[in-house]
Structure 1
Amino acid sequence: MMRAPSWRGFRVLLLLLFCWTTFFVLTPAKAEPAKSVFVIPVQNEIETGLAATLKHAFQEAKDSGAQVIVLDINTLGGRIDAAVEIADLIRSSNVPVIAYIRGHAISAGAYLAMNATHIAMAPGSTIGAAEVRNSDGEPVDPKVVAFWRSEMTAAAEFQGRDEKLAVGMVDRNTEIPGVKERGELVSLSAQQAVEHNLADGVFPTLQGALQNYGFGQASIQDFQPSVAEKIARFVTKPTVIPLLLILGLIGLGAELLLPGHFVPGLIGVACLGLYFFGSMVAGFAGWEAVILFVAGIILLVAEIFVVGFGILGTLGVLAVGTGVVMAAYDTTYGIKVMLVALALAAVVVAVLFKYFGHLGVWNRLIHTDVQEKAAGYTPNRNLRHMLYQVGRTVTPLRPAGTAVFNGQRFDVVSDGAFVPVGTDVQIVLIEGTRIVVKAKPKDGDANLVIPRLPEEQSDI
């Protein structure tokens, strides 16, 4: 016999279905993390200060959870060592990097773009012409050329781009049919870069480029270098470092010659302070370099006032030079710059010493009084004829002092007693240039005892 379905079980089933549906309706769906873009400007010259700034920028992008980094490039190039350091940063980044070339990516700028995951270009922008050039006009070391060529090739290989184009940007002797003739460098416009699969497209705005890569709705965060980083980037330029060192050393040297004026010393301290500040912010140096430099300055100053037989001065020069070299981004460059700065500063300080040394500390260390005839001084000669002459003191005799005889000034000593200024005195003994006097009694010469003339003086 069949049993009729239980309405109670059916009601329980309906209740469970209602609860299950309600749970999915009321439970919010797990939202996807918002996409974010971190934009880092790469403008002007590529130098060591920029490399230090980009390290901070990449770390900040990683900490903020950015899903892509955009290098906003507009540069005519710069230093090879700085570019290689930045390229290593790009390659090792766990966050994809888009190079958006807004103006020019020439030389080292092209090298940075070649290392990026994607390349996007603005209308009118260019990329290429990465030939090595020497700023001082001397021939470029073939080793440097070979190194730079291999770096450009490695950048193309790393991102799967045309290696011949990369080599053609560096070596003008490479011929690429349809791109360039022998003797020219590869330099591509935005459209040409797209045609040769070097760039992904031409986009008038950064927003358009981000739309192409799927980040059109992403939030954009612009990297803003700190004031300290901006200062460090400027003062660590190869053209600024020598100027800071030269002015700094000249300022300190001038302050020693002209103490109390403060301006040369302030300029010197400011220039050297900027040099070490920039090196520390850029990560080239630590406090040990500053301590060495300050210790060297103290030793040089001590050499002036303490008899050290040149030991303190030598240690001071070594400490100053070591501090400057340690603060430089490259040891060889630091040695060259320090030697040039010392040489130029020595010349300038020597000129200041010659023309203005009498105004400074040297005037306190060197006795410069001259006994001139116009002031009443007479040269050394036989003074025995002055025995028993009467004169007047112009300084107190304690027991030494000065007296005037017949309108001429002489250094004299009393017979032991104190003689005040303006007292009439009589010469009682002459031994070489030593003149001994005795105060003359106020009541005249009657009570003045005149000693017997020694036999050796009897022929006067």
Structure 2
Amino acid sequence: MDTNRYVFRRARLLLSFFCILAALVLAVLPQPQPATAQTFQKAVWIPVEKTIEQGLEAFLRRAFAEAEQQQADLVILDIDTPGGEVEAAGAIGELVRQSPMHVVAYIDNQAFSAGTYIALNANEIVMTPGSSIGAATPITMAGNAADIKFISAWSNQMVSAAKLNNRDEMVARAMVEIDTEFPGLKPKGTVLSLDAEQAKQLGYADRLVNTRDELLVQFGISPQSLQTIEPTMSERVARWVTSPVVMSLLLVIGLVGIVVELFAPGFGVAGTISLLSFGMYFFGHFVAGFANWLHIALFVFGILLMILEIFLPGGIVGAIGFISIVSGLVMAAYDTQQGLASLGIAVLITGIVTFFLIKKFGFKGLLNRFILGDAQKNEQGYVAPKNQSDLVGKKGIALTPFRPSGTAKIDGARVDAVSPGAFIAAGTPIVVTQVEGGRVVVQEDETKE
């Protein structure tokens, strides 16, 4: 009995000794860090908001370059977007993928369609409860699903981005292809979108955090040291202008304004709005980095040639001017095909507006802005011009601007006339100074009643 008790004591002492030894070894050895405890020296915060378009690409290129100049080693993209242009998303994805900095896609609300693709190119995806990712089927401007070839190409692009961080490629396909089934989450005929928990389970979210501050803590960044790179006011305007819808709208307003100005006397509201629209178009594309001074010069040169065509009829100068205008507008666009499409829409709508204006005011109403009304017809033989010598000394008012030709109202009648060369604005009192055959010369009446 004593022997058993002795053996038991020795065993208990040895066990205690080994436990103490193990505790000492664990205390001395470095402890493994949690998987989330990753720290960085300098971080920047970049918003990726609203629709994905070419203007956003230009801003992000500037933001990434600025972050690299500041020697940042962490870039956090705050993504909140319903999607946008596939071409712009592809360029942004490449920018993110090739960045030497560690890029985190932070999704606090939504990252659908093109936004999903951008997030998949980041090194990590972090989501908050209630946020969503997916629904990446491309659609046309009319709101319909794109053709099968385009969907197939975009699906492969999504899969390639998913493979960068070993994510399940079938999930990426299910986000794009309507006919692809994903058991338990997506039947055929729908597109897959994931909430934060589902994304974490499927490997499409690397971390879940409740707040922005929690995100910063996990990366060892203090809120005070975090720098935010925001788009400038001009970059915000550029993002708005380079949207395909706004781009087409600006061209429509610009062209329609020119046509309306031709029917209305004087350079007024229509002409001003037209110039502002074209100016906004070129400004936005210039800031976004798509337009340059050559494109603007081509447009201005074309306008000057079109004006010159008024005084040098023949068609050649006008044709060259038209080609120059079209070249400037299309070359300034981020994509030639999109530029042609937007210009085509604008020309079509302008043609419809011109048709209704001619129907209302007549074709002569347009021609009278540039030419005199008297004409000599060959089939009539020689016809002496109407004797208007009795108009000399009579006063009236300019109905249209004189550049130098125009129309005046004299003795209650419309009279085609010319000025000696000086510009006379519409509504200016005039007096007839000379009549030579059918040529009536007027000048501004400077006499006081």
* Structure 2 partner of 1:297: 303
Spell out the pairing of 1:159-178 with structure 2 (5 A cutoff): 159-178=165-184
Query: What are the superposed Cα offsets for residues 160-193 of structure 1, whole Å, 9 maximum, x if unpaired?
Result: 2222211121123333344434444321111111
CA distance 1:306–1:206, shift in 2 (3 Å):
same
Residue 125, structure 1, aligned to residue 131, structure 2? yes
| Structure 1 Cα separation of the partners of residues 102 and 391 of structure 2 | 90
1:293–1:321: 8 Å Cα contact kept in structure 2?
yes
| Structure 2 Cα separation of the partners of residues 181 and 215 of structure 1 | 42
| Structure 1 Cα separation of the partners of residues 219 and 145 of structure 2 | 43
| Structure 1 Cα separation of the partners of residues 205 and 390 of structure 2 | 96
1:107–1:131: 8 Å Cα contact kept in structure 2?
yes
Query: What are the superposed Cα offsets for residues 271-317 of structure 1, whole Å, 9 maximum, x if unpaired?
Result: 0011011111111121111111111111111111112x111111111
Larger Rg: 1
| TM-score normalized by the length of structure 2 | 0.71
* Structure 1 partner of 2:13: none
* Structure 1 partner of 2:91: 85
| TM-score normalized by the length of structure 1 | 0.69
* Structure 1 partner of 2:149: 143
For residue 154 of structure 1, the aligned residue among 151, 160, 169 is 160
CA distance 1:326–1:363, shift in 2 (3 Å):
closer
Residue 328, structure 1, aligned to residue 321, structure 2? no
Query: What secondary structure does 1:365 align onto?
Result: coil
| Structure 2 Cα separation of the partners of residues 316 and 217 of structure 1 | 56
Residue 199, structure 1, aligned to residue 198, structure 2? no
| Structure 2 Cα separation of the partners of residues 172 and 349 of structure 1 | 44
Indicate the percent of aligned positions where both proteins have the same amino acid. 40
CA distance 1:305–1:148, shift in 2 (3 Å):
same
Query: What are the superposed Cα offsets for residues 227-248 of structure 1, whole Å, 9 maximum, x if unpaired?
Result: 1101111111111111101111
* Structure 2 partner of 1:101: 107
| Structure 2 Cα separation of the partners of residues 191 and 296 of structure 1 | 58
* Structure 2 partner of 1:229: 235
CA distance 1:176–1:305, shift in 2 (3 Å):
same
| Structure 2 Cα separation of the partners of residues 132 and 240 of structure 1 | 20
How far the C-alpha of 1:203 sits from its partner, in A, is: 1.3
How far the C-alpha of 1:360 sits from its partner, in A, is: 7.5
Look up the equivalent residue of 1:366 and give its one-letter code.
Answer: L
Query: What are the superposed Cα offsets for residues 377-425 of structure 1, whole Å, 9 maximum, x if unpaired?
Result: xxx9xxxxxxxxxxxx9678xxxxxxxxxxxxxxxxxxxxxxxxxxxxx
| Structure 2 Cα separation of the partners of residues 91 and 365 of structure 1 | 61
| Structure 2 Cα separation of the partners of residues 37 and 237 of structure 1 | 30
Look up the equivalent residue of 1:297 and give its one-letter code.
Answer: I
1:97–1:118: 8 Å Cα contact kept in structure 2?
yes
1:259–1:360: 8 Å Cα contact kept in structure 2?
no
Look up the equivalent residue of 1:331 and give its one-letter code.
Answer: T
CA distance 1:249–1:183, shift in 2 (3 Å):
closer
For residue 347 of structure 1, the aligned residue among 318, 342, 352 is 352
Look up the equivalent residue of 1:232 and give its one-letter code.
Answer: A
How far the C-alpha of 1:356 sits from its partner, in A, is: 5.1
For residue 212 of structure 1, the aligned residue among 215, 218, 222 is 218
RMSD across aligned C-alpha pairs, in angstroms?
Answer: 2.6
* Structure 2 partner of 1:255: 261
Query: What secondary structure does 1:345 align onto?
Result: helix
CA distance 1:192–1:89, shift in 2 (3 Å):
same
Look up the equivalent residue of 2:271 and give its one-letter code.
Answer: G
CA distance 1:394–1:180, shift in 2 (3 Å):
closer
| Structure 1 Cα separation of the partners of residues 203 and 324 of structure 2 | 55
2:40–2:221: 8 Å Cα contact kept in structure 1?
no
1:208–1:216: 8 Å Cα contact kept in structure 2?
no
How far the C-alpha of 1:48 sits from its partner, in A, is: 1.3
Look up the equivalent residue of 2:68 and give its one-letter code.
Answer: K
* Structure 2 partner of 1:366: 372
1:258–1:359: 8 Å Cα contact kept in structure 2?
no
Unaligned runs of at least 5 residues, structure 2:
1-38, 376-382, 384-388, 393-449
CA distance 1:260–1:360, shift in 2 (3 Å):
farther
| Structure 2 Cα separation of the partners of residues 240 and 319 of structure 1 | 22
For residue 318 of structure 2, the aligned residue among 313, 321, 345 is 313
1:259–1:361: 8 Å Cα contact kept in structure 2?
no
How far the C-alpha of 1:267 sits from its partner, in A, is: 0.4
How far the C-alpha of 1:349 sits from its partner, in A, is: 3.5
Query: What secondary structure does 1:188 align onto?
Result: strand
Query: What secondary structure does 2:226 align onto?
Result: strand
1:41–1:73: 8 Å Cα contact kept in structure 2?
yes
CA distance 1:195–1:363, shift in 2 (3 Å):
closer
Query: What are the superposed Cα offsets for residues 47-78 of structure 1, whole Å, 9 maximum, x if unpaired?
Result: 11111111111111111221211110111111
Look up the equivalent residue of 1:98 and give its one-letter code.
Answer: V
| Structure 2 Cα separation of the partners of residues 51 and 36 of structure 1 | 23
Query: What secondary structure does 1:219 align onto?
Result: coil
CA distance 1:134–1:339, shift in 2 (3 Å):
closer
How far the C-alpha of 1:336 sits from its partner, in A, is: 1.9
Q: After the TM superposition, which of the residue ranges 347-356 and 190-199 deviates more from structure 2? A: 347-356
For residue 46 of structure 1, the aligned residue among 48, 52, 61 is 52
* Structure 1 partner of 2:36: none
2:40–2:74: 8 Å Cα contact kept in structure 1?
no
1:37–1:218: 8 Å Cα contact kept in structure 2?
no
2:290–2:332: 8 Å Cα contact kept in structure 1?
yes
* Structure 1 partner of 2:343: 338
Look up the equivalent residue of 1:322 and give its one-letter code.
Answer: S
| Structure 2 Cα separation of the partners of residues 332 and 224 of structure 1 | 30
Unaligned runs of at least 5 residues, structure 1:
1-32, 370-379, 381-392, 397-460
For residue 289 of structure 2, the aligned residue among 279, 283, 286 is 283
2:310–2:370: 8 Å Cα contact kept in structure 1?
no
2:291–2:331: 8 Å Cα contact kept in structure 1?
yes
